[in-house]
Structure 1
Amino acid sequence: MMDRAFLAWPFFEPRHRELANELDRWCRENLGGRYAENLDDECRTLVRELGGASFLKLAVAQGDRRPDVRSLAIARETLAYHSGLADFAFAMQGLGSGAISLFGTVEQKRAWLPRVASGEAIAAFAMTEPECGSDAANMQSSAMRDGNEWVLVGEKTYISNGGIADFYVTFARTGEGEGARGLSAFVVPAEMVEVAERIGVVAPHPLARLKYDNVRLPADAIIGEPGEGFRIAMETLNLFRVTVAAAANGFARRALDEALAFARDRRLGSGTLAENAVTQAKLADMALAVDASALLIYRAAWQQDVGGTDHRRAAAMAKLHATECAQQVIDDAVQMHGGAGVTRGVKVEELYREIRALRIYEGASEVQRQIIARDLLKEVR
């Protein structure tokens, strides 16, 4: 069972502890022993089940209230501990609809957010392009105004939920300014998008390359004002950045637990692996990394919820530290397992595949270092 001693920290309220207990119980009852024969169907099923259990309500705005970041982080850490695919299904409902939660009109919120929260509609966030990853200012997809419509042309790639989403929040160049100042965001129903290619990655998740071939959208499909797309994207990513760190820490916690159980039972000479001094030192380092990440994660989440301070640096620190440390913790767990650690079907091998992408998406580690350094230098100036 996942260690939840961190919930006693002063960052949390009673409702957060109740959520952690309720979701952990739900995960143990519903996610154990599942095997996805069809990835798309399993993702759709997980979204419906999470919606039916009311957990997806955490991921979308409720009236004028933004999603509570501490709740999102607890949910992702708990889900990731039990199932990487369940965490993915939950997270993409939030990220995919995040621009609508933060900047959508009343009509856009009414049309999409209840369906996202119930699991009826699957959301996706379409920003990355074949020639532009972290450098969104060089986006090539374009949307031109034609009377009462927008005409959208371009291509997106590595889009999570690509091929199974019901709508894509899509970013395109509308030309109000150069670089990042000329982007806008649109709600695009899935039936208007061509799924050009399904993409397989090391941790099986639904990903796709999308084509927009003169897609005609009504004027009210735009989110916010023309030219606000970059700000909308960055604020959406910033809202969910800490939760990526939380998911990474969920993977790391599971790896630590798997390593502890293996070391306790594995015979080594006349004793067990757990009695070996080298093993004990490694386990101590793993536990230190997990707790240090948790402190950074929930400090940053608390800052976003409570407000009063600029939390961008804290969020960047949390994501950078948690994802990099989780990679090391999981690698150590694999090493401790020996040959079993690289065997399909063993949990640490699954975690090894799950963790790698988290150091890249929603701001790669190199980008997080830039955010931290620029914020420090800004204070010096």
Structure 2
Amino acid sequence: MPEFALEPEQEEWCEELRALAAERLRPLAEKREPGLLNRPLVTALGELGLLDRLFTAGALDLCLMRESLAHGCTEAETALALQGLGASPVARAGSDEQRARWLPGVRAGRTVAAFALSEPGAGSDAASLALRAEPVTGTAGGGGSAAGGGGGWRLSGEKCWISNAPYADFYTVFARTTPGGGARGVTAFLVPADRPGLTGAALDMLSPHPIGSLAFDAVHVTEADVIGTPDRGFRVAMDTLNLFRPSVGAFAVGMARAALDATLAHTAGRTAFGGPLKDLQSVAHRVAEMATRTEAARLLVYAAAAAYDRNEPQVPKSSAMAKLFATETAQFVVDAAVQLHGARALQRGHLLEHLYREVRAPRIYEGATEVQRTIIAKELYAR
């Protein structure tokens, strides 16, 4: 597929998803109080086959799903993305036993997953994780080699700002198995929510989806819980983020397009100063800028997704650029849309009031804007 155009079948599929989001999924989202896990919504995504497609589609299809769902129902988009983010490490690097036990429930929408990377002192700087994975006394060796003795590790510490916490059924948890090892001393673990010593608390955040903290009080994990290889969990995390960062951009593009569509309709129909708003040059030029930036973000996202699907070497740079530009663009477009709508856009329940709250967080999570710039610069200078 050329990065600058979609095939007719893809366009038709995206239109179907937008309609599905608005007509079937949005009513489910509106029935649930913000900040709580919406299991009926997750179940509906499973029944529609969208969760299953998460694990069979490439990066481009993931972006198309997230953009289209975000246009009609941001809560549905986020529920889909969080299932993918939490379970993709298992699908991509987990053992056969882990995949057989957990993925069927995730695909069906019965089992809720979460990606537990961020900590109170290690958000965007994922290599500085402090959650400790200490070898169980009596096992051989230190660090990752403890698993060879069969005793495993005890997890002690905290995770914070974890989407779907504390309501998820299992967590992909990243912990330090080798002190002082930096990125090379981190291991990924699959930790069921009912594991003794694991507790969580909800955080009251701006976002409508659940976000919480997790506390690990000597939570026992074994070699069977390791996702991938001990001390190589940072690569599992980065591989997952490289896939999902362009799709965060797609989420942002979906919100920007929804805001732009609302603005086109409003400025064409609202009369002021003797004519429709669209006839005012200041309004028309602002709308043109909104549309141009949205289209540029969309193309950058598609190009990054295509690069990922082709396994090209510049994926980290492309993913970072797509995430950076699209999220910053969405912030600009939604803010401009609110300004052009006036006070009505600030009323509770208005589409733009909802988007205004939603659009802020993507500039922070999965690597803040500043982190994306750092990644881009490092990739440029490495060449």
Q: Is the TM value for this pair above 0.5? A: yes
Count residues with an aligned counterpart.
368
CA deviations 1:194-241 (Å, max 9, x no partner) are 444311222221011110111112321001111001111111111110
1:56 is aligned with what amino acid? L
Cα distance change of structure 1 residues 167 and 12 upon mapping to structure 2, 3 Å threshold: same
1:151 CA drift (Å): 1.4
Contact 1:40 1:164 in 2 (8 A): no
Letter in 2 for 1:134: S
Retained in 2: the 8 A contact 1:123–1:166?
A: yes
Alpha carbons 1:145, 1:151 under 8 Å: kept: yes
1:22 to partner: Cα distance: 3.2
- Give the AA of the match of 1:162: A
Unaligned runs of at least 5 residues, structure 1:
1-6
User: Hey, what's the Cα distance between the residues in 1 that align with 2:354 and 2:75?
Assistant: 11
**Alpha-carbon distance in 1 for matches of 2:382, 2:74:** 37
- In the alignment, is residue 266 of structure 1 matched against residue 270 of structure 2? yes
Question: Counterpart in 1 of 2:10?
Answer: 16
1:27-52 Cα deviation digits (max 9, x unpaired):
23303455234346662111100001
Q: Deviations over 1:248-293 (max 9, x none)?
A: 0000000001111111121102211111111100110000011000
> Please, which runs of 5 or more residues in structure 2 have no aligned partner?
140-149
In the other structure, the counterpart of 2:341 is 337
Report the counterpart of residue 112 of structure 2 in structure 1: 122
Kept in 1, the 8 Å contact 2:35–2:208? The answer is no
Q: Does 1:218 align with 2:208?
A: no
8 Å Cα contact 1:188/1:221 also seen in 2: yes
The one of 54, 63, 73 equivalent to 1:59 is 54
1:160 to 134, 142, 163: 163
Structure 1 residues 302 and 11, CA gap change in structure 2 (3 angstroms): farther
- Corresponding residue SS for 1:151: strand
SS in 2 for 1:31: helix
Amino acid of the structure 2 residue aligned with 1:262: H
Q: Which amino acid aligns with 2:135?
A: R
Indicate how the Cα distance of structure 1 residues 262 and 13 shifts in structure 2: closer, same or farther if over 3 A, else same.
closer
Aligned to 2:82: 92
Structure 1 pair 176–156 and aligned structure 2 pair: CA distance change class (3 A): closer
Write the letter of the residue equivalent to 1:160: S
Alpha-carbon contact 2:172-2:188 (below 8 Å) kept:
yes
Query: Deviating runs (4+, > 6 A) in structure 1?
Result: none
Among candidates 30, 41, 44, match of residue 39 of structure 2: 44
Report sequence identity in percent.
Answer: 42
Counterpart mapping for 1:241-280 below 5 A = 241-280=245-284
- Could you tell which deviates more after superposition, 144-153 or 269-278? 144-153
Q: Secondary structure at the match of 2:262?
A: helix
| Matches for 1:163-174 after TM superposition, within 5 Å | 163-174=166-177
Q: SS at the partner of 2:175?
A: strand
Counterpart AA for 1:298: Y
Q: How far apart are the structure 1 equivalents of 2:376 and 2:264?
A: 34
Distance change in 2, residues 1:293/1:205 (3 Å): same
SS in 1 for 2:188: strand
Q: Which amino acid aligns with 1:333?
A: A
Tell me the equivalent position of 2:361. Answer: 357
> Secondary structure in 2 aligned to 1:212?
strand
Which amino acid in structure 2 is aligned with residue 324 of structure 1?
A: E
In the superposition, relative to structure 1, how do residues 102 and 177 fare at CA in structure 2: closer, same or farther (>3 Å)? farther
Structure 1's 270 and 74: CA in aligned 2 closer, same or farther, altered over 3 A? same
1:190 pairs with 2:185: no
Structure 2 equivalent of residue 78 of structure 1? 68
State whether residues 244 and 358 of structure 1, in contact with CA within 8 Å, keep that contact through their aligned partners in structure 2.
yes
